[in-house]
Chains A and B, each alone.
Chain A
């Protein structure tokens, strides 16, 4: 992953979206003075990022622009603020195009929605979506089920990306998540992190078809999703789950017998997010796994 060649920045308080557009245009013009720059976009990437998630969200974004030239809009709600306004930080990240004397630039817009302006986030982001391209929404933390913010944003995006590892009230939250499946395609980073293990378990067919107990050393989300996956794929709801809490997926036992470790290293957070941004359609296997968890 290369570091950005240049990082130009504009900030403003109590801004209109037109100000953001103007700032972007000026940043692009400035970047093109230094080297011919191309604005190449493949999507709009929205992220709902409450304050406590902001640093982690920025870390996950590092390098994303290089792999997914896009417009990223980070929305940080601050509904308790006495003021009602939108503050913005707009930056341009440019990377040298391989083998070419020009740069490819992506746009990152951080919007802090203060007071009443946090109530209608869709109306803030609608003017910023890049036409004709897919829109992804990364919701950090537990979605506020049924809230106007979530309902509005789900209404304008193609894909909702969550990480159920970030949720406390499992498995109940999966029932609320399943209610969204018919409205928006959903990706779950916790699910993506089980991918290597699912491939490995699938390779154990047909023996795995008779498994009675699955013991997972990992996060609650990973444990639940893995057992849900096995139950839904095997068509059996009698598979028992034993969960040993760990910060990451460290191992799996089938009827007390350790499963072999999958090859390779676990992917980095930005790699996982990056892969999810390349998926466009619903994931019926994931949806079935979630439904099996809460059945």
Chain B
């Protein structure tokens, strides 16, 4: 709702429009509006404006129903038809499904059967998109039975982030980066998706998902695909997604020594002692669910052969950070004395996805004064400082794209299946190889074995 409010305040919503909230919870239009008003006040990026909210609230209706009940979907259909007649909407519908997986088939079937032939129908599907390759394929088959692929928008909100899109601009709108964006110049790539929070009352979901299904399967592999993909011939949905799929297909399954998993124990975050994962409410006391994954991946193609992509993601890490770092090879023959470069680190192009959206380039520069002393400095491009407009939230962009029928920033069926193929292979290894949990303290950067993963290659994680 904060995203819709942001679109409303910028006059980006259609002139004729209605929003229908659907849930099993008993409620009325007014009770739902009050709940959403509070959500907007708490979470919107813009200051709350009563006039804008009143305008939006007037478009909102609520239906309390359960599709599992006989005729449950009819209540929704009646409400939608009533809105369409009242506002002369012409039959265009966007359905946004944020529902538990068991409810999915019934709802998809019901919506599919009631498509309005007068206009278009688009379906937004939130993660988790399946639990493994087999379930993802079943979901795709279910969706295809009622919808065409162009009507399905599998949402991964990371793709809606400005900085993720900016990486495409950085790579493909500048002549200086793409020529060095390859194995000849890049020593390795590091992708970090770190959260300092724990599971936040999501034990039911997280216990069966773990870090590999929660983050690795979707956000992380999408970031990797965007980093490694070839330039698309144009910026249409099919061209971009074709290139991403090629990257996902070229990832080979890492061996057991190239994958590290972890689970957090007690520790300190921002000075506060926090519970171990196994002490979180709803988590089994002997849980073997991983809250951390690190891996060394290879993209087996002409551009990236033998260039490691080190990726890591986890909960209760030292800080919240999503970054993509390309570490370049060192200068082949620096003509300086060793002592002149003792503070020098390799060049790193760092893309901050969140927080502090922007790009940093670490370069060596001479310290002013006598002699030749060189040290690393950061040149920062911060989004907030360069452009006067605020950065839109990911969901604003994505919801607007769905209304416009623009699918570039959504995941196609074959992408999700390739992602699951890799995850299934990794999880299968874990069935044979048990790890001792917990193996990292909350508030740190993960298990020691994660550091060893890079040390074996003579490298280390970017320091924080």
Contact = CB atoms under 8 A, between A and B. Distances in A.
Q: Real complex partners, A and B?
A: yes
B323 interface: yes
A109 interface: no
A86 B21 CA distance: 40
A212 interface: no
Interface in A84-135: 84, 86, 113, 116-124, 126-135
Contact of A42 (B273, B350, B376, B463): B376
Interface in A55-103: 69, 84, 86
A37 B271 contact: no
B271 A117 contact: yes
Interface in B69-111: none
A21 interface: yes
A278 interface: yes
A18 interface: yes
Interface in A1-53: 16-18, 21, 25, 28-29, 32-33, 37-42
Contacts, number: 113
Interface string B263-297: 00001111111000000000000000000000000
Chain B, interface size category, equals 35 or more
A131 B380 CA distance: 12
A280 B356 contact: no
A128 B196 CA distance: 13
Contacts of B348: 132
Contacts of B320: 18, 127
Interface string B325-365: 10000000000000000110100101000011000101000
B24 interface: no
Contacts of B196: 127
Contact of A133 (B270, B271, B273, B378): B378
B384 to A, nearest CB: 5
B380 A38 contact: yes
Contacts of B273: 116, 120
Contacts of A121: 271
Nearest to B379: A40
A195 interface: no
A144 interface: no
B373 A278 contact: yes
A2 to B, nearest CB: 14
B271 A120 contact: yes
Given A29-B385, A40-B379, A132-B350, A118 B464 contact: no
Interface string A257-295: 000000000000000000000101100000000000000
Interface in A222-244: none
Contacts of B345: 132
Given A120-B271, A124-B271, A278-B367, A131 B382 contact: no
Chain A, interface size category, equals 35 or more
Contact of B385 (A32, A120, A129, A132): A32
A18 B325 CA distance: 22
Contact of A21 (B323, B355, B360, B388): B355
Nearest to B385: A32
Nearest to A118: B271
Nearest to A120: B268
B264 to A, nearest CB: 13
With most chain B CB atoms within 10 A of its CB, the pick from A16, A40, A127, A278 is A127
Nearest to A69: B377
Given A21-B355, A131-B462, A280-B343, A123 B382 contact: no
Contacts of A281: 342
Contacts of B240: none
Interface in B230-262: none
Interface string B411-445: 00000000000000000000000000000000100
B375 interface: yes
B318 interface: yes
Contacts of A126: 318-319, 443, 464
B271 A113 contact: yes
A227 B350 CA distance: 48
A25 B384 contact: yes
A281 B373 CA distance: 13
Contacts of A32: 384-386
Contacts of A124: 270-271
A132 B376 contact: yes
14 contacts: A25-B356, A38-B380, A40-B380, A118-B271, A120-B268, A124-B271, A126-B443, A127-B318, A129-B463, A130-B378, A131-B464, A132-B350, A133-B362, A133-B463
Q: Which 8 A-B pairs have the closest CB atoms?
A: A127-B319, A117-B271, A120-B268, A123-B268, A126-B318, A280-B343, A32-B385, A123-B443
Given A18-B355, A131-B464, 15 more contacts: A16-B270, A18-B320, A21-B356, A28-B384, A29-B385, A32-B385, A37-B385, A69-B377, A116-B272, A121-B271, A123-B267, A126-B319, A127-B196, A130-B378, A132-B345
